[in-house]
Structure 1
Amino acid sequence: MNEIIFTVSSIAAILLIFISVASLLKSSFVFFPPPSKESWQYRLFWLLFRVMIIGLAVLSFTSYNDTPVFSYSVRFFIWLPLFILGFGLASYISLKLGWANAHGEAKGLVVSGWYKWSRNPIYVFSLFAMLGLGLFINSTYVYILLGLWAVMYIVAPFIEEKWLEKTYGQEFLSYKARVPRFFGIPSKT
Structure 2
Amino acid sequence: MTAEFWSTLLFSVSLVSVSIILILSLFATMREGFQFWPPPERKSWQHRSFLILFRCFVYPLIVLSALEFDIGHSAMRYAAIVIGIVLLFAGFGLAIRITLQMGWRNAFGEKRGLVTDGYFSRSRNPVYVATWLGLIGWSVVANSVLVSILLGFWAALYLFAPLFEEPWLEKMYGDEFREYTLRVRRFL
Same fold (TM over 0.5): yes
Distance 2:79 2:19 in 1: 31
Distance 1:128 1:51 in 2: 22
Distance 1:66 1:161 in 2: 41
Aligned to 1:107: 112
Distance 1:166 1:66 in 2: 49
Query: Where does structure 1 differ by over 3 angstroms across 4 or more consecutive aligned residues?
Result: 65-68
> How many residues are aligned here?
183
What are the within-5 Å matches in structure 2 for residues 49-128 of structure 1? 49-65=54-70, 71-128=76-133
Deviation at 1:38, TM superposition (A): 1.8
Aligned to 1:187: none
Structure richer in helix, relative to its length: 2
1:162 aligns with 2:167: yes
Q: TM-score normalised to the size of structure 2?
A: 0.92
Deviation at 1:71, TM superposition (A): 3.1
Give the percent of matched residue pairs that are identical in Structure 1 and Structure 2. Answer: 41
Tell me which amino acid in the other structure corresponds to 1:164. L
Aligned to 1:135: 140
Residues 95-128 of structure 1 show CA distances to partners (whole Å, capped at 9, x for unaligned) of 1111111111111111000001100000010011
Secondary structure, aligned partner of 1:71: helix
8 Å CA contact retained: 2:18, 2:57: yes
Q: TM-score normalised to the size of structure 1?
A: 0.92
Q: Which runs of 5+ in 2 are unaligned?
A: 1-5
Tell me which amino acid in the other structure corresponds to 1:91. I
Q: Which among 165, 173, 179 is matched to residue 174 of structure 1?
A: 179
Q: Which runs of 5+ in 1 are unaligned?
A: 184-189
8 Å CA contact retained: 2:69, 2:143: yes
| RMSD of equivalent CA atoms | 1.9
